[in-house]
């Protein structure tokens, strides 16, 4: 049975820590899978998170453009961690908007019924449009050659 991963979350084993300044200590950052660490890594959470919105198509457009602009700034500064965090926020804009498009209220699991997965298709078209906007910006970020070069260099230096 599909259960939410947060039920058995081990905070101590999690690679990202909220008390680390990842700009000062990029060697402690981990690329990870998908959006891991996005709501923890400072100072980027503070810098990027304030712009992350996906309520509707118009808000998603403004939000994704601002975050993509930050992504480009981080890339131009050679700040891989910042660029990767901005990319993760774009990805998360897509996945969260998609979650709300698929499930009314964004809730995928029924807490009151042993965390059974709820019926898909109960969300709204408005969030699907917001998801599409974030998806494009996320893919633009991933296709950015300078970002790819920064990522490769960071991996060679830090693992």
pLDDT at residue 13 in the model? 83
pTM for the predicted model, two decimal places: 0.89
Q: What is the mean pLDDT of the chain?
A: 91
Stronger pLDDT, 19 or 121, i.e. the higher one: 19
Of the candidate ranges 32-36, 49-53, 106-110, 145-149, the one whose mean pLDDT is the lowest = 106-110
Report residue 25: phi and psi, to 5°: -130, 65
Instruction: Parse the chain into domains and list their residue ranges.
Output: 5-158
**Low-confidence winner among 2-6, 39-43, 109-113, 155-159 (lowest mean pLDDT):** 2-6
SS (H, E, C) the chain: CCCCHHHHCCHHHCCCCCCCECCCCHHHCCCCCCCCCCCCCECHHHHHHCCCCCCCHHHHHHHHHHHHHHHHHHHHCCCHHHHHHHHHHHHHHHHHHHHHHHCHHHCCEEHHHCCEECCCCCCCHHHHHHHHHHHHHHHHHHCCHHHHHHHHHHHHHHC
Terminal Cα-to-Cα distance of the chain (whole angstroms): 34
Q: How many other β-carbons are positioned within 10 Å of the β-carbon of residue 123?
A: 20
What lies within 8 Å, CB to CB, of 154 at 6+ separation is 26, 31, 80, 81
């Amino acid at each position: 049975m599909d259960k939410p991963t947060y039920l058995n979350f081990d905070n101590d084993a999690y690679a990202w820590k909220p008390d680390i300044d990842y700009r000062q200590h990029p060697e402690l950052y981990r690329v990870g899978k998908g959006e891991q660490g996005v709501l923890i890594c400072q100072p980027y959470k503070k810098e990027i998170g304030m712009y992350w919105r996906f309520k509707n198509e118009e808000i998603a457009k403004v939000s994704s453009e601002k975050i993509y602009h930050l992504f480009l700034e981080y890339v131009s500064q050679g700040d891989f961690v910042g660029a990767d965090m901005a990319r993760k926020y774009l990805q998360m804009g897509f996945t969260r908007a998609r979650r709300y498009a698929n499930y009314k209220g964004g809730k995928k699991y029924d807490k009151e019924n042993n965390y059974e997965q709820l019926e898909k298709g109960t969300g709204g078209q408005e969030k699907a449009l917001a998801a599409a906007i974030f998806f494009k910006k996320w893919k633009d970020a991933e296709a950015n050659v300078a970002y790819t070069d920064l990522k490769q260099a960071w991996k060679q230096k830090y693992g």
